[in-house]
Amino acid sequence: MFRSLAGRAVVLASLCAAQPVLAQRASTEVPASAPITGVRYEVTANREGLGQHQLHVVTTFGVAGTAPVVLSLPAWTPGAYEIVNFARTVGDFGAAQGADTLRWDKADYDTWRLWPKRAGQVTVTFDVTADTLDNGMSWTKPDFALFNGTNVFLYPEGRTTDFAATVTIKTEPDFLIATGMTRASEAHTFRAANYHELVDMPFFVGQFDLDSAVVSGKTVRFATYPRGVFAGAMRTTAWDQIKRSIPPEVLVFGEVPWDSYTVMHITDSTFGGMSGLEHANSHVDVSAPRGNGSEFQPSLFAHEIFHAWNVKRLRPADLVPYRYDRPQQTGWLWVSEGITDYYADLALVRGGIIDTKGFYGLTSGKIGEIAAAPPFALEDASLNAWIKVRDGTEALYYPKGSLAGFLLDVMIRDASDNRRSLDHVMRDLYQSTYKQGRGFTPEEWWGAIRRASNGKSYDEFYRRYVDGRDPYPWDEALKVIGLRMQADSVPRMGVSLRPEQAGGVRVLELVPGSPALAAGIKQGDVIVSVNEKPAADVFFAGGFRAMYGTKPAGTPIPIVLKRDSATVNVQVPLKYGAGQPALVEDPAASPRAVRLRNGLLRGITDR
Ligand SMILES: [Zn+2]
C-alpha cells in the first residue's frame, strides 16, 4: 500500500467511511462448514447493474449431505491493514438447490450458514453494492467496474483455503476484462489454484485503455480507466518508468516471479492524492488527475511492483498465512512497507529514472519528515497500523522504515567491504523462507543481516533503532558512503507573499530583522517588479533564487512597489538564510566511501 497526499507526505488513511471494527473472533464461535467441492463463482457486471453501483454474484458448489454449510466473506484486503467487513456491502442474499429455496441465517458479521436439503449442487446468490473508490474495495461507473476478490468470493469456514476455483465474468460484448488471474478454456472464465490466489487478483471490467509490453522477459500490461485520460506523451512516460524500474528490482531477487504483471490504474477527480495497493502479479492505483505524470508517479509504480516480491511473497511469519477474518498484527511493516519504499527509491536511481541528486532529495525528504515527527519506534508504528493512531506517527513506518533499510545497507556494505549488501539479505530470505513455503522469523531476518555483515551483531541497532526511539546515527553512517547533510543557504527577502489578481504580489508579513523591513517595505505593500521583472514571475517560479542565488550578500535588489496609489522604489540588500537540510556528496570522501556509495546507487558489490 502506498498513498500520497500533500507533497511527498505518505499516509495510509483509507477514504473508506467505515470505522474499523476489530473483530477478534475466536475460531470456536463459528462452526466449521460441511465440505464443499467444485467451487465456481460468476460475477455479473453489466450496464444495468453498474448504473446502480451493483454487481451480482453467484456461487455454486457441491455438498455431500445435509450438514450446514458455513460461508464467509473476508473482513479486510491484504495490504490495506484495516477491518472493513465486506459483508456490509451484500444484499438480497439467497441459497437454493434447483427449485428449492434453502434456509439460511447469519453466524456473525461476515458469515452465512445454510442448510442443504440433499446431496448435490447448491447455488448462493447476492448483490454487492460497489460504490467505494478504494483500491481494496469495489467501485463502478456506468461503463466500468473495479472489484477485489475479498469483496465478492465466499470461503467455507474452518476448511482449507487450498481449493481451486473458477470465476466467470458475465458482461457486455464491448467491455474488456483485465485481471492477473489465469484464463481458462471457457469464454470470460479464469481460474485460481487456491483461495489466497483467488482474492489477490482484482478485476477491471468495462471500457478502459489496455496495452502491453515485454519487460524482463515477461508480459506487463497497463490498464487505465477512463479511456483517453492516460494517453500520448504521458502514457509513453509511464511506460518508460515501468520498463526502467522493473529490471533493477528483478536483480535484487534474481528472478521475475510472475508470468504476467498488470498495472491497473484509475483516474478520478473525486479522489485526493494517489494510492496503490499491491498484489502478487498486479497492482491497483487510484489517482487524482493531477497525480498522473507527477513527480510521485514513478515512486508509486516502483513501490507497488517491488511488493510483488517483498510482502506478497517474502513476508513476516506473522502474516503467513493471511487470515481474512481478523486483524493480523505485526511489528514488521517497517520491512514490508518501509524497505519496499527504500527499494523503490533505489529502483528509480538504478533504473535511471532519477539521478543521484534525485535519490539524495528523496532520502533527505524522509530524514526531514522523521525529524519533524515525535520520536517513535519502528515496531510500535507497525503494530499501530490497524488502529490508525492520531499522535502524528501514523504510517511513518514507511519513511522511517525506508531509512532503516538505507542504514542497514550502508552498515552491511561497510562490514563486508562492499562484498555484501541489503540486496543479498532480501535474496537470501526470499530463497530460504518464501521458497520453502513459509514466512520469515525475527531470528531469520537478523541472522541473514549478520551473515551478510561478516558476523557483525545488530543487537544494539535493534534495541536503539527498531524497538527503541533513538535518532538514527546519521553523521556516522553518512560518512561511510561519503555523504553529509548540508543546510542549504538560499537568498531570502524575509517576507511572506500572495499573488494579486490585478498583478504584483502583496506583502502579508515581514520577518523581524529582515532586509525587506530594514529597506522600508511595509505590510500591505504590493511588489510590482524585482530588478525590472514582474514580481509574480520572480517569486512564484523560482526566479528569485535563479537571479540572486549566486550573487554576494549585500548586492542591492531594486524593487518597485505600490503603496496605496503611490509608486515607491526601494533597494533591498541581498541576504542568505537556511533552506531545507539536503544530503550532498562530500568532496573529501575517501576512495572506499565512494566505492561503497557507488555500489549502493548502482546495485553492485565487489568480489
Ligand atoms: Zn506499500
Q: How far is the CA of 216 from the centre of ligand 1 (A)?
A: 22
Q: What pLDDT is recorded for position 16? A: 33
SS3 category, 21: coil
pLDDT for the residue numbered 17: 33
The three three-digit cell numbers of residue 604, written as one number = 553492485
Q: What is the pLDDT of residue 576?
A: 86
pLDDT at 157: 97
Output the CA 223–ligand 1 centroid distance in Å: 20
Separation of alpha carbons 305 and 262, rounded Å: 10
CA of 598 to the centre of ligand 1 (A): 26
Ligand 1 ion: nearby residues, β-carbon < 5 Å: 1-2, 337
Q: Between the CA atoms of 102, 107, 110 and 112, what dihedral angle is there, to the nearest 10 degrees?
A: -10
Written in H, E and C, the secondary structure of 194-222 is CHHHHCCCCEEEECCEEEEEEECCEEEEE
Q: Quick one: cell of 537?
A: 514571475
Q: What is the DSSP letter of 185?
A: S
Alpha-carbon gap, residue 530 to 560, rounded angstroms: 7
Measuring CA to CA, how many Å separate 93 from each of 89, 121, 125, 448? Answer: 11, 17, 6, 50
422 exposure class (CB count in 10 Å sphere: 0-12, 13-18, 19+): buried
Q: Answer whether 284's CB lies under 8 Å from 268's CB.
A: no
Name residue, grid cell 483517453: 228
User: 595 — phi, psi (to 5°)?
Assistant: -65, -45
Distance 402 CA to ligand 1 centre (A): 11
What is the predicted pLDDT for the residue at 8?
34
Q: What is the distance in A from the centroid of ligand 1 to the CA of 340?
A: 7
Distance 399 CA to ligand 1 centre (A): 11
- What is the 417 CA–ligand 1 centroid distance (Å)? 31
Of 258, 275, 424, 405, the C-alpha closest to 344 is 405
Compute the distance from residue 335 Cα to the ligand 1 centre, in Å.
10
Asked whether the beta carbons of 309 and 253 are under 8 A apart, the reply is yes
CA dihedral 266, 369, 542, 489 (to 10 degrees): -160
Q: Would you give the DSSP letter of residue 337? A: I
The identity of residue 557, as a single letter, is I
Q: How far is the CA of 293 from the centre of ligand 1 (A)?
A: 20
d(CA 4, CA 6): 7
Question: What are the Cα distances from residue 354, in Å, to 5, 244, 345, 529?
Answer: 21, 10, 9, 35
- Cell numbers describing residue 455: 558476523
| Beta partners for residue 265, in sequence order | 224, 285
| Residue 582 contacts residue 360 (beta carbons within 8 Å) | yes
Q: How is residue 242 written as a grid cell? A: 515501468
Q: Measured in angstroms, how far is the CA atom of residue 247 from the centroid of ligand 1?
A: 19
Ligand 1 center–CA 282 separation, angstroms: 13
Query: Residue 14 has what pLDDT?
Result: 33
Binned average pLDDT, 10 residues per bin, the chain of 607 residues:
53 34 50 97 98 98 98 98 97 98 97 98 98 97 98 97 97 98 96 98 98 98 97 97 98 98 97 95 96 95 98 98 96 98 98 97 94 94 94 94 98 98 98 98 98 98 98 97 88 85 87 89 94 86 82 92 94 84 94 98 95
Rounded to the nearest whole angstrom, what is the distance from the C-alpha of residue 305 to the centroid of ligand 1? 9
Tell me, in angstroms, the distance from the centre of ligand 1 to residue 479's CA. Answer: 30
Report CA(122)–ligand 1 centroid distance (Å): 39
Query: Cell 490508525 maps to which residue?
Result: 388
Dist. CA 504–CA 24, nearest whole Å: 60
Contact criterion met (CB below 8 Å) for 150 and 82? no
| Rounded-to-integer distance, Cα 155 and Cα 356, Å | 48
Residue 476: all three cell numbers together: 556516522
In degrees rounded to 5, what are phi and psi of residue 540? -110, 15
Are 91 and 172 within 8 A, CB to CB? no
Ligand 1 centroid to 12 CA: how many Å? 9
- The CA distance from 330 to 23, in Å, is 16
* Contact criterion met (CB below 8 Å) for 146 and 271: no
395 Cα to the center of ligand 1, angstroms: 10
**Interval between CA 310 and ligand 1 midpoint (Å):** 9
From 74, 78, 120, select the one nearest 96 (Cα to Cα).
120
Cα 159 to ligand 1 centroid, rounded to whole Å: 30
Burial (CB count within 10 angstroms: exposed 0-12, middle 13-18, buried 19+), residue 253: buried
> Which residues, 6+ apart, have CB-to-CB distance to 76 below 8 Å?
82, 83, 84, 136, 150, 324, 327
Q: How far is the CA of 111 from the centre of ligand 1 (A)?
A: 29
Distance (angstroms) between ligand 1 centre and the Cα of 386 equals 14
CA of 38 to the centre of ligand 1 (A): 34
Size (the chain), residues = 607
The pLDDT of residue 542: 72
Q: From ligand 1's centre to the CA of 25, what distance in Å?
A: 27
